[in-house]
Amino acid sequence: MQHIKGKKAVVSGGGSGIGRAIVDKLSAAGALTAVADLHIPASLPTSAHPFTCDVASATAIDSLFAGVQERLGAPDILICSAGRGIHEKLTEGDPEKWRQIIDTNLLGALRMIRAFVPGMLAAGHGDVVLVSSVSAGQAYPYGGIYAATKSALEVVAETLRQEVLPHVRVTVVAPGVTDTAFFQNTISGFHTAEDIGYGTIAADDVADAVLYALSKPPGVSVNHITLRPTAQPF
């Protein structure tokens, strides 16, 4: 983890679930971390700095950028973990809810990239990690909008990788069913990990994958990691 110690990171969605697990692992590895989320937990690692932020809001991203620059300086690591789920038919769903999912899962990551990656390019180094999903490229009933945002996010990741090489590394981490509050917080529809029936992986497992990519020497890029419960077929 010597490649992480002393670095500065920004984690969207860092207040809970996978994002919080990443914050904890980064802090344990010696990074200073800006935790950006709609709801900031009362307890954070001592090296973590809280920022209330809705990534779906351009104004909120501007405020986050200014706050991070003031309190931490230009970050070395950007992790886009903020996201929400939706579960409804395309022929019956609410387009306004679709817009909210697209604004958070896709445009939110794009806004974060646009705000923070230019500073990495100016510095000549950096890491961007985008938390995707095994649903990217995998159509399934009631999952069209969510899967579409994750598919688009992976196209964004590969485009970004080509635009910023060789100075900035880009990694996609695509988890399967994960034991977090994700399903309880979907904007429409309701599922639990038990309903899906494949078992789960832990948020810490996903965070370990992120730290694996970040811990590689600067000349080594881990561009895509998929991890899922062993019983999950897709």
Give the residue numbers annotated as catalytic, written as ranges.
Answer: 146, 150
Q: Work out the burial of residue 214: count CB atoms within 10 Å of its CB; fewer than 13 is exposed, 13-18 middle, 19 or more buried.
A: buried
Of the candidates 128, 93, 138, 124, which has an alpha carbon nearest to the alpha carbon of residue 214?
128
Residue 92 contacts residue 138 (beta carbons within 8 Å) = no
Question: Can you read off the two tokens belonging to residue 72?
Answer: 């931490």
Q: Report whether 79 contacts 129 (CB < 8 A).
A: yes
Burial class (CB in 10 A: 0-12, 13-18, 19+), 16: buried
- In the three-class reduction of DSSP (H, G, I as helix; E, B as strand; rest coil), residue 172 is classed as strand
Q: Say if residues 89 and 142 touch (Cβ distance below 8 Å).
A: yes
Q: How far apart are CA 168 and CA 199, in angstroms?
A: 35
